Amino acid sequence: MKGETVSIHPLAVVSSRARIGNEVSIGAFCIVEDDVTIGDGCRLETRVSIKKGTQIGENNHIFDGAVLGGWPQHLGCHDSCGDVVIGCGNIIRENVTIHSAMHEGESTVIGNDCMLMVNAHVAHDCRIDDNVIMANNVMIAGHVSVGRRANLSGGVGVHQFCRIGSYAMVGAQGHIIQDVPPYMTVDGLTSKIVGLNQIGLRRAGFTTEDIKQLKDVYRIIYHSKLSWRDILHTLEEQFTSGPALEMARFLATTTRQIIRERRSAPEKPELKIHNDSEEDVVKFRTNVG
């Protein structure tokens, strides 16, 4: 079923069982399989593959070589699998891959207004909330959730079943093996927490009072030396509203524990320069970190 004013390049292959909305553009060498739904106003550039059962909302722009709905990369997936559900207004850049959920009736979900940059990978059964940015070569393993307005820099790798909270910022090449609480910044070099994502919070409209509340929460979590049980109890008692409440709920439901704080700056590497004339070694401290 095709809507009105659909533009399909003659070199594209589009199943007659696909449901195509109005004002959709499908470029050369694209493949749209059976039971795919593409909403109004979507644009597919060249070589885009939309696999069976994938559902795409309105006004998404999908660039060259992207594969949406691919078979899960899991040895336990045999006869059938789930699908991919993508919201509206997303930008999905070149060679992005988003894999279907492992089991029939389940979905890998991408929200609205996200930007997935070149070569980003979202594995089976992930849930990506609205306004998330993933830079080039981000790798998201299976069953990961990413909260709204989180920002993952280039080359970040996320272990399966981890959660990244809303408004979190993960630095380039960070490796995430535990949960990242909401509103936090992770240093890519050490993969440790280095404070609140204050720039991101202010850009998102958080007030000075909101940020002050989150600083109080941060001190309780990372500087109070309370036990984990006492931290949760203190947060539950002291914060019943505002952004701190989301933080408390996130911490109360973690199963992988949370990333630790980087307590000191990383040691600055040394450059050893050999002086042939004097046959000695001169050491220089760099300004990295």
243: tokens are 């952004």
Please say whether the dihedral angle defined by the alpha carbons of residues 67, 92, 35 and 8, taken in this order, is positive or negative.
Answer: negative
Active site residues: 124-125, 142
CB atoms within 10 A of CB 257: 11
Closest to 108 in 3D by CA, of 147, 138, 162, 68: 68
At residue 129, the 3 state secondary structure works out as: coil
Environment class of residue 263 by beta-carbon count within 10 Å: exposed (0-12), middle (13-18) or buried (19+)?
exposed
Q: Which uninterrupted H or E stretch holds 214?
A: helix 208-223
Q: Give dist(CA 63, CA 281) in Å, integer.
A: 51
At residue 209, the 3 state secondary structure works out as: helix
